[in-house]
Structure 1
Amino acid sequence: MIVPAFLLHSTAVQAAPPSGRSVISGHLVPALQHHSPLHTSSANRQLQLSIALNLRNKAALEALVRAQSDPHSSLYHQYLTPQQFTAQFSPTEASVRSVVNYLHSQGLQVSSVASNRLLIDASGSLSTVERAFNITIADYTLNGSTVYAPTSEPSVPANLSGLVLNISGLDNAAHYHPAKHMAPAAGPGGGYTPTDLRTAYDMNSLISSANGSGQTVAIFELDGYKASDVNTYLSQYSLGSAKYSNVLVDGATNTAGAGAIEVELDMEVVSAIAPGATQKIYIGPNSTTGVNDTYNKIVTDNVAKVTSTSWGLCEASSGTSELSALDNIFLQGSSQGQSFFAASGDSGAYDCNNTSLAVDSPADDPHVVGVGGTNLQLGSGSSYGSESAWSNPSDTQRSPEGSGGGGGYSTYFSKPSYQSGTGVDSNSMRHVPDVSADADPASGYSVYCTVSASGCSSGSAGWIAVGGTSAAAPLWAGVVADVNSYLAGQGKSTLGNVNAELYTLFNTSQTYTAYHDVTSGNNLHYNAGTGYDLATGIGTPDVWNFARDAAGTTGGGTNDFSISASPTSLSIVQGGNGTSTISTAVTTGSAGTVSLSASVSPAGPTASLNPTSVTAGGSSTLTVSVGSSVAAGTYTVTVTGTEGSATHTASVTVTVTTSGGGTTTQALANPGFENGQTPWQESSSGGYQLIDTTLAHSGSYSAYLCGYNNCNDQIWQSVAIPSTATTIKFTFWLYVSTQESGSTCYDYFYARLRTSSGSTISTVKSLCNNTASGWKQYTFDVSSTLSSYKGQTVQVYFQGTTDSSLPTNFFVDDAALNITTP
């Protein structure tokens, strides 16, 4: 069921959190704001939680997504991989570790951390959860049912402030529902057939050559289906063999239940429009945790560039923290070039099923395409006749105001920059829907379903006519799969994140008319009109026109380039400098702007580029300067070029020589940890891999010691000291951050030289939590220290330790042992 919610923010007074804790707002259930709790809920009740963490650099990510949709940007259609997203925008491993450690310390069981680190799944008894987040969870009566929810906002220790965004699973008041209406039909002709839909929306010319082949559509579901029903539909309409498979999330099973008609509707409509596309049916539990994990699985899998979802709930039924958590997931999908089509709801402008204006989630999200509903009337031969906004004030089975296509203003999300054009008014909030398609049950879709639990009949009576925006969303998903197939066949980039492209085709002069402008009817409150309107959005598709226009706006294939250095090696005396020419060339696509940067490993020489960006095909001058105090030895300068999502590097080897003679060799192997663990050896009391990408001084990797309580992390490497060594210098870079306060030392870092058997020769440097600072270089002349170890093997050794209180992080990078011989 869908629960009513009258206000987005509860008027309940939040008590001040205990000292040292940080409140995470947005968890109070608006629908319960005028309800008194019955009593505290059962302490033994087991709760399944999905804890969402904040993104890093969200503003930069949103700017990237805008650039990816801007044809004038060098980042146009340069989409990220999940791995690139995680490296650039996900919470750090250290942040995840801090939250996981806290959950463990409170007695909660952590079952998984999502690969993008956005979600941590945990479980525990209600009493354990209450203690962990300083809340009371009570039972309430809501719409005749007993539900549970927190009576105040949760909080976490202050050291986790800013890390945790949302804790889903603290309540069970909200329940997602499908946006569909159904009625019995006499036979397959009782609703619009695939031929009717294709002809009316001008798809035949496209589907004859591009039917979704080579594309994958993800279909989000919270119930199972009966495969034989879908296969009967495919056979009846000669749509080819089944191309669907299941992805089960959080222990869900493909068991056809009350929502099976929704699942089968989605699969059958996508099959009707894009019969050549592969379908991935993502099925999760109908809970907030299940919803988040299922959407996140679609995004992290990244196998489908188009997703259809027909499950939603009134925007005000979710706390703002849950809306933000979903938005982060959809934002990642957008940055990866994924499009999401969501039904806008079937209660018209009254999505909370009362007399208050409201819109549906997730159609309200600016990184999702909200799909509204119309009544489609056919002309002769199933041709397009006319359309009007769908509304039926007499159909009050769900809402007292009637039924109709969802639409209106979000109360949470701001209007995105792409949402503009004739009819888009000055209201600063997100407008819903974006587009529409047939949804009125009076002009419904032919569907086959025999699942009795879902209200379907067996045998030939399984043919029913189904309406609702639940049908319009998969229709649009199928259309985009076909268009992507068409574009790929022409060697052009596919639509990717389609939100802005929809408005580009609406706002700019095109060769063909891509949309039917629906100008009559209403959605129980908002009237349809010229251009954009809150009843039908931009309008409904003329698919063949849409595809041909898109072919003219998406451009060619992916741009790519190469980068090289000449010369690739330099010999520079202390106090001198040298240069190398960095050249770029276009390898595929067209010339774009290549941004250039340089790094040096190990640290010592400095490198600069002039200019720092060139048009692909241009060149830049790399200048390497060596100070008089830079140790003699071998260094590597890495020049990185980035154009869109394409990144390439070129390397220059720099040999630094002393002005007084002698040869200096850098004796450590893999000093910047860029080549993995070898030949470093490591030991971690927490069982962690110590070389990772959490924070690096240069390159991508460093050694990460500690960051958790009761830590004893060690990393070391054996080095042979030449018998002729005259000078030995030990240097490394260190970054220290801590959650401890005050001047007392609790957590320690040691840099040591040890014998081959592990006995300490010298503790070169000892630091603790009260010396926290950013990256800092330490250099030591250890010639006399190792004078008696010439001709022997010694160990270069780093260690971090912490006590049982708040943890400290120690990051080591770009170590060197520079040995000069005659």
Structure 2
Amino acid sequence: EGGGGAGGEVPPEVLPDELPDFTEQELEPTEATDGIPSPLPGVYDDKGTAEDDAVVRALMGFPIRNSGRLAPVIEEMYDPASPRFRQYLTSEQWIAQFAPRELDVHLVKLWLEEQGFQVNFTATNRLLLQFTGTVAQFNAAFQTELRVFERENPQAGNPPFDVYGSLEQLTVPTWVADRTTGIITADLAASTKPLPAEGGAIDEEGPADVTDGVTLAQIAGAYDLDELYELGFTGQGVKLGVTVGAAFKFKDLQSFWRSLGVQRSNPRVIQTMEPPATRYVESTLDVQWSGGLAPGAELVVYQGPDARNTSMVYTFNEAIGRGEVSIITDSFAHREDSEPPAVRLQYHYAAQMAAALGITVVAATGDSAQTDTPSASPYVTGVGGTSLWVTEDGEVESEIAWSRSGSGPTLSFDIPSWQVGIVEGSGGKRAVADVAMHASTSPLPYWVYYLGEWQRYGGTSFSAPAFAGIVAAVNSYRAAQGLPRVGFLNSILYTTPAVQATFRDVVSGSTEFFAAGPGWDYPTGWGAPSAIGLATTLP
């Protein structure tokens, strides 16, 4: 099971210019899996039939090849007793062993083009194709009728938006169904408006009263990151990835960092698909807090055009597929029960690839006291929320579970072996959270600098990038000791008492469904991480 190294080279497949003659059986229409929502009261409200000439952008998904071999490979990779411990694959090795066959992806691309669609983007790991066309073309190709649903915005406080939905299952020729995981998403067109220019100057003044919110220094102190800083480990030599929908202002980033005492370079931005037409506070805070807590790390932002599923699923997958960072943080969380299973699974396939590549994927568990996507995947470290009382110099006075910390048994995934015997009452399902950090607006919200103004918010949208910053600093410490990067954290966290013992156990507070308590619990997982503790105990 070597990679694509010498002696294991596979000659490139010859890709035909047109589709072969399929048998009648292969051309027979069959129901396809799809991630297109059905009406759901309070989440998706049906507004009626979509206009024939409206534009659709959609994702076609493909299965991992040799998928039965991948989980055991990952298990060995994270078993300290295995000779393959932490021998991660490169992106190229993963593609050679586990990516969908290039020929299969090519044939489906030809079929989409035959239906009148334009195929615009092919994922590096070949798990996704993004294509566009009209509603009429989509309805004809997939034997359906697209409708417009108004969707409640997963980003709390933002207005609802329109998405495509359907009342019936899509169909495709059998040969297409056999080669794909179906249509994963279908969304309205991305905006083509140009992004407004930056304007304004960098503000180094800071908020009028900085004590009205928590600062980088307070969070670094509360979670023992300052102890790694004192040893000289701030994330240097580490590439930290942030997945975002839409853009941010570079001047906002620098205003935030400099005002709070951090000197660091701007992120490198990789546009994964269409250019963004707007800026979001979510994208801004994710970059400000992950980069602010790991000032030595190289920040790489993977930017989709907006926060629609087509943009976010593709961007998350592409950030992993390129294999160039060692940590990825994602705070564009959606309630698990509001996402069709095909969407949840596509995130999971990408996260599984990340584990094989030695990439730590952290995601917000959400702010609904229920489970979210993508943190529901066992291959993602789900960061829940606490309410933290901390002094101005970063001393912790107390910390309790946040009432809205996303947590509980997941809907989509069976309990992984490493949670068996630890998690109670999950009905045989993967449970979240795994870890937790401050997320509440009480007693103090987080600062963010957005569109030239100091603002304050809370949510696990902050705890996830904060934890990613910790992992970046831990990785720089490990590199100095000659150790490989952390990679997939969960299995080692759940099976190594020495690592668990470094966490500050959060034993009080609750959501409406679950209470915190000694040891692992739903709202806070193992509790509050210690950066120096993780650095010195992870094998």
Letter aligned with residue 323 of structure 2: N
Aligned identity (percent) is 28
Q: Among 364, 368, 371, which residue is 2:376 paired with?
A: 364
- Aligned mates of 2:234, 2:186 — CA distance in 1: 44
Letter aligned with residue 20 of structure 1: E
- Aligned mates of 1:239, 1:379 — CA distance in 2: 20
- How far 1:385 sits from its partner (Å)? 2.0
Which residue pairs with 1:20 in the alignment? Answer: 28
Secondary structure at the residue paired with 2:83? coil
The reply to whether residue 201 of structure 1 matches residue 223 of structure 2 is: yes
After superposition, the Cα gap between the structure-2 partners of 1:263 and 1:480, relative to the gap in structure 1 and judged at 3 Å, is same
After superposition, the Cα gap between the structure-2 partners of 1:18 and 1:31, relative to the gap in structure 1 and judged at 3 Å, is farther
The reply to whether residue 297 of structure 1 matches residue 288 of structure 2 is: no
Secondary structure at the residue paired with 2:417? coil
Structure that is richer in strand per residue? 1
After superposition, the Cα gap between the structure-2 partners of 1:295 and 1:450, relative to the gap in structure 1 and judged at 3 Å, is closer
Moved over 6 A (4+): 33-36
The reply to whether residue 219 of structure 1 matches residue 231 of structure 2 is: no
Which residue pairs with 1:235 in the alignment? Answer: 258
- Aligned mates of 2:368, 2:282 — CA distance in 1: 17
For residues 398-452 of structure 1, what are the alpha-carbon distances to aligned partners after superposition, in whole Å with 9 as ceiling and x for unaligned?
xxxxxx111111111112222245454452111011110011112445524242x
Q: Among 529, 532, 535, which residue is 1:541 paired with?
A: 529
Which residue pairs with 2:213 in the alignment? Answer: 191
Letter aligned with residue 332 of structure 1: M
After superposition, the Cα gap between the structure-2 partners of 1:199 and 1:244, relative to the gap in structure 1 and judged at 3 Å, is same
Secondary structure at the residue paired with 1:463? strand
The reply to whether residue 375 of structure 1 matches residue 387 of structure 2 is: yes
The reply to whether residue 435 of structure 1 matches residue 435 of structure 2 is: yes
Q: Tell whether the 8 Å contact from 2:255 to 2:449 is kept in structure 1 after alignment.
A: no
Q: Tell whether the 8 Å contact from 1:484 to 1:494 is kept in structure 2 after alignment.
A: yes
Secondary structure at the residue paired with 2:469? helix
Q: Which blocks of at least 5 consecutive residues in structure 2 are unaligned? A: 1-24, 153-159, 190-205
- How far 1:30 sits from its partner (Å)? 4.3
What TM-score, normalized by structure 1, do the two folds share?
Answer: 0.56
Secondary structure at the residue paired with 1:131? helix
Q: Among 289, 301, 306, which residue is 1:269 paired with?
A: 289
- How far 1:516 sits from its partner (Å)? 0.8
Q: Tell whether the 8 Å contact from 1:185 to 1:191 is kept in structure 2 after alignment.
A: no
- Aligned mates of 2:248, 2:254 — CA distance in 1: 11
Q: Among 496, 507, 520, which residue is 1:532 paired with?
A: 520
- Aligned mates of 2:151, 2:473 — CA distance in 1: 44
After superposition, the Cα gap between the structure-2 partners of 1:381 and 1:239, relative to the gap in structure 1 and judged at 3 Å, is closer
Q: Tell whether the 8 Å contact from 2:471 to 2:531 is kept in structure 1 after alignment.
A: no
Which residue pairs with 1:244 in the alignment? Answer: 267
For the aligned residue pairs, the C-alpha RMSD in angstroms reads 2.6
Alignment of 1:6-45 (within 5 A): 20-32=28-40, 39-45=48-54
- How far 1:113 sits from its partner (Å)? 2.2
Q: Among 506, 513, 520, which residue is 1:518 paired with?
A: 506
Q: Give the aligned length.
A: 489
Which residue pairs with 1:416 in the alignment? Answer: 416
Alignment of 1:544-563 (within 5 A): 544-550=532-538, 553=539
- How far 1:22 sits from its partner (Å)? 2.2
For residues 29-50 of structure 1, what are the alpha-carbon distances to aligned partners after superposition, in whole Å with 9 as ceiling and x for unaligned?
2444898965432111111121
Which residue pairs with 2:112 in the alignment? Answer: 103
Which residue pairs with 2:335 in the alignment? Answer: 314
Letter aligned with residue 361 of structure 2: F
- How far 1:119 sits from its partner (Å)? 1.0
- How far 1:267 sits from its partner (Å)? 2.0
Which residue pairs with 1:337 in the alignment? Answer: 358
Letter aligned with residue 229 of structure 2: I
- How far 1:306 sits from its partner (Å)? 0.4
The reply to whether residue 161 of structure 1 matches residue 182 of structure 2 is: no
Which residue pairs with 2:492 in the alignment? Answer: 501
After superposition, the Cα gap between the structure-2 partners of 1:154 and 1:488, relative to the gap in structure 1 and judged at 3 Å, is same
Which residue pairs with 2:194 in the alignment? Answer: none
- Aligned mates of 2:163, 2:457 — CA distance in 1: 31
What TM-score, normalized by structure 2, do the two folds share?
Answer: 0.85
- How far 1:138 sits from its partner (Å)? 2.4
- How far 1:380 sits from its partner (Å)? 8.2
Letter aligned with residue 98 of structure 1: L
Letter aligned with residue 409 of structure 1: P
- Aligned mates of 2:368, 2:41 — CA distance in 1: 23
Secondary structure at the residue paired with 2:137? helix
For residues 166-207 of structure 1, what are the alpha-carbon distances to aligned partners after superposition, in whole Å with 9 as ceiling and x for unaligned?
31343569xxxxxxxxxx974323222222122222222212
- Aligned mates of 2:310, 2:511 — CA distance in 1: 31
- How far 1:122 sits from its partner (Å)? 1.5
Secondary structure at the residue paired with 1:470? helix
Which residue pairs with 2:367 in the alignment? Answer: 346
Which residue pairs with 1:386 in the alignment? Answer: 398
Which residue pairs with 1:463 in the alignment? Answer: 454
Q: Tell whether the 8 Å contact from 1:223 to 1:263 is kept in structure 2 after alignment.
A: yes
Larger radius of gyration: 1
Secondary structure at the residue paired with 1:346? coil
- How far 1:250 sits from its partner (Å)? 1.3
After superposition, the Cα gap between the structure-2 partners of 1:213 and 1:343, relative to the gap in structure 1 and judged at 3 Å, is same
For residues 447-469 of structure 1, what are the alpha-carbon distances to aligned partners after superposition, in whole Å with 9 as ceiling and x for unaligned?
24242xxxxxx5xxx33333211
- Aligned mates of 2:374, 2:174 — CA distance in 1: 31
Q: Tell whether the 8 Å contact from 2:38 to 2:167 is kept in structure 1 after alignment.
A: no
For residues 652-673 of structure 1, what are the alpha-carbon distances to aligned partners after superposition, in whole Å with 9 as ceiling and x for unaligned?
xxxxxxxxxxxxxxxxxxxxxx
- How far 1:519 sits from its partner (Å)? 0.7
Letter aligned with residue 361 of structure 1: T
Q: Tell whether the 8 Å contact from 1:190 to 1:463 is kept in structure 2 after alignment.
A: no
Secondary structure at the residue paired with 1:321? helix
- Aligned mates of 2:315, 2:92 — CA distance in 1: 19
Q: Tell whether the 8 Å contact from 1:246 to 1:282 is kept in structure 2 after alignment.
A: yes
- Aligned mates of 1:530, 1:304 — CA distance in 2: 35
- Aligned mates of 1:37, 1:205 — CA distance in 2: 53
Secondary structure at the residue paired with 1:374? strand
After superposition, the Cα gap between the structure-2 partners of 1:19 and 1:251, relative to the gap in structure 1 and judged at 3 Å, is closer
- How far 1:280 sits from its partner (Å)? 0.9
- Aligned mates of 1:317, 1:388 — CA distance in 2: 28
- Aligned mates of 1:89, 1:370 — CA distance in 2: 25
For residues 54-93 of structure 1, what are the alpha-carbon distances to aligned partners after superposition, in whole Å with 9 as ceiling and x for unaligned?
1112121112111111112222111111111111111112
After superposition, the Cα gap between the structure-2 partners of 1:28 and 1:117, relative to the gap in structure 1 and judged at 3 Å, is closer
Letter aligned with residue 480 of structure 1: V
Q: Tell whether the 8 Å contact from 1:27 to 1:154 is kept in structure 2 after alignment.
A: no
Q: Tell whether the 8 Å contact from 1:193 to 1:445 is kept in structure 2 after alignment.
A: no
Q: Tell whether the 8 Å contact from 1:366 to 1:416 is kept in structure 2 after alignment.
A: yes
